[in-house]
Amino acid sequence: MSVLWTDKTVVQATGGEAVGTWEASGISIDTRTLQAGDLFIPLKDVRDGHEFIPMAFENGAAAVISERHIEDVPAVIVKSAQQALEDMARSKSDLAQRVAITGSVGKTSVKEMVAHICRAAGKTHASIKSYNNHWGVPYTLAGMPIDTEYGIFEMGMNHAGELAYLSQIVQPDIAAITKIAPAHLANFESIREIAQAKAEVFRGLTPQGLAIVPDDSGYEDAFKEELAGSYVTIKLLKFGSQKGSHGRIVSAVNSPNGSQVELNILGKTVEFELPMVGAHWVENATCALLISSTLGIVIDVAVNALKTMGKISGRGESHAVTIRRKKIILIDEAYNANPESMRAAIAALGLHDGRKVAVLGDMLELGKTEKKLHAHLKSHLENHNIDLVVTCGPLMKALHDELPENINGGWFENSEDCAAKLIPMLKSNDTVMIKGSNASGMSKLVTAFKNNKKTRK
């Protein structure tokens, strides 16, 4: 068993009080996924994690962090379990080469791409799923083994100030912003405010760190403002299609099976077939290759890794399914949505042959302009020759009301109603793309299609 934490190292990191002598091979914040030998950290959310301490030991926990005095079990007693997790993370902020990735769209996809590349080059530790918030980021860092070579951290935010805090915990060597777009507008007055909040990811950069940003954001001044003053030693790199960018898309031919691309990364030109569909994936790959190159990974190693990378669940993963003897291609884009990612998914759907069906759920947290942003998708759907548009959820009613009759497949209040009525509309050889914000229930609709069953939201 490789040792990740001991009673002594946790006390050193947190200032807590040890109960017993112990060693842990991992950490866990969820007894349902806890592995034997893990250190259980009981965070407070809807329920207090301390309620699950007995279950943690039943499942084989080596020890627990606890805010309550406990006896006769291995533990470290602290004032705050959340603070202890953050302190444990900070104690590892000098290990490995660390990369922080954020953005309005694309952050999970780029994180997965960079992690996939890094695994081909050395021992890599990366955020799982979308563990990108106030507990997910320190959890990822606190769980990083001492011999890790590359640490890849996804960082998300809903409010100003969050990314600065997370970045200062990780202290990344490289911090990248994938894209600036209208997301979480319910908490911001403008997209510029979003850009300023995203730029906080640079706040924790090491003194000789690198900042990577898109070349077409329109907010480079906000990025440079964040990097000013004491951050003058940090170099700003750009990626995109503009001449002079450090990671540049020279050409890209998109098809239903992927994209044939020519990219120039730090002066080196590469050509290859990217197995992901859509222009947004080409941008993601360019960002990922720029990050990996600045980490010192040979470009050929990185490209070969991308060529073998599989699709990411909920982000364009396709499935061949048969529903009532109709063979269709199902594209699962149901993990999340905002106007930018919705337009990208629609454009990718438009690349397919045959009848193209878009099943769209609500885009949430868009603030005062939410209905207008939904309605504005109409022109994009028409421009990409989408044949049938089915809308689901109260906000998507605004788009439904704007759609011309020839492509309007109807509006449904929830995913259960949509599943029941959508299947009869489909024809053999249709390509069906399902997308919406995570809370809109569209992922349940994807599951219903895979199982050919109705689902409840």
Amino acid at 206: T
Checking if the pLDDT of 348 tops 90, the result is yes
Residue 255 tokens read as: 């098809």
CA distances 187 to 156, 174, 429, Å, are 14, 27, 42
Say yes or no to pLDDT of 35 above 80.
yes
Structure tokens at 81: 């379990």
The arithmetic mean of pLDDT across residues 144-152, rounded, is 98
Q: Distance (Å, rounded) from C-alpha 360 to C-alpha 445?
A: 11
SS (H, E, C) the chain: CCCCEEHHHHHHHHCCEEECCCEECEEECCCCCCCCCEEECCCECCCEHHHHHHHHHHCCCCEEEECCCCCCCCEEECCCHHHHHHHHHHCCCCCCEEEEEECCCCHHHHHHHHHHHHHCCCCEEECCCCCCCCCHHHHHHHCCCCCCCEEEEECCCCCCCHHHHHHHHHCCCEEEECCCCCCCHHHCCCHHHHHHHHHHHHCCCCCCCEEEEECCCCCHHHHHHHHCHHHCCCEEEEEECCCCCCEEEEEEEEECCEEEEEEEECCEEEEEEECCCCHHHHHHHHHHHHHHHHCCCCHHHHHHHHHCCCCCCCCCEEEEEEECCEEEEEEEECCCCCHHHHHHHHHHHCCCCCCEEEEEECCCCCHHHHHHHHHCHHHHHHHCCCCEEEEECCCCHHHHHHCCCCCEEEEECCHHHHHHHHHHHCCCCCEEEEECCHHHCHHHHHHHHHHCCCCCC
Asked whether residue 457 carries a pLDDT value surpassing 50, the answer given is: no
Residue 256's identity, in one-letter code, is P
For the stretch 428-456, pLDDT in tens is 999 999 999 989 989 988 988 887 644 44
Q: Tell whether domain 317-451 is in CATH 3.40.630.30.
A: no
The structure's pTM equals: 0.93
As a whole-number percent, the residues of the chain with pLDDT over 70 amount to: 98
Interval 21-29 mean pLDDT? 98
- Domain 5-79 class? alpha beta
Residues carrying CATH 3.90.190.20, the chain: 317-451
Confidence band, pLDDT 50/70/90 cuts, at residue 87: very high
pLDDT 10s digits, 47-64: 999 999 999 999 999 999
Please write the tens of the pLDDT for every residue from 66-78.
999 998 899 999 9
Mean pLDDT within 39-51: 94
Question: What are the start and end residues of each CATH 3.40.1390.10 domain in the chain?
Answer: 5-79
Residues of the chain with CATH 3.40.1190.10: 92-307
- Among residues 203, 196, 156, 194, which one has the least CA distance to residue 175? 203
- Can you name the CATH fold of 92-307? UDP-N-acetylmuramoyl-L-alanine:D-glutamate ligase (3.40.1190)
pLDDT tens-place string over residues 226-279: 998 655 578 999 999 999 999 999 999 999 999 999 999 999 999 999 999 999
CA dist 203 and 211 (Å) reads 10
- What pLDDT score was predicted for residue 230? 59
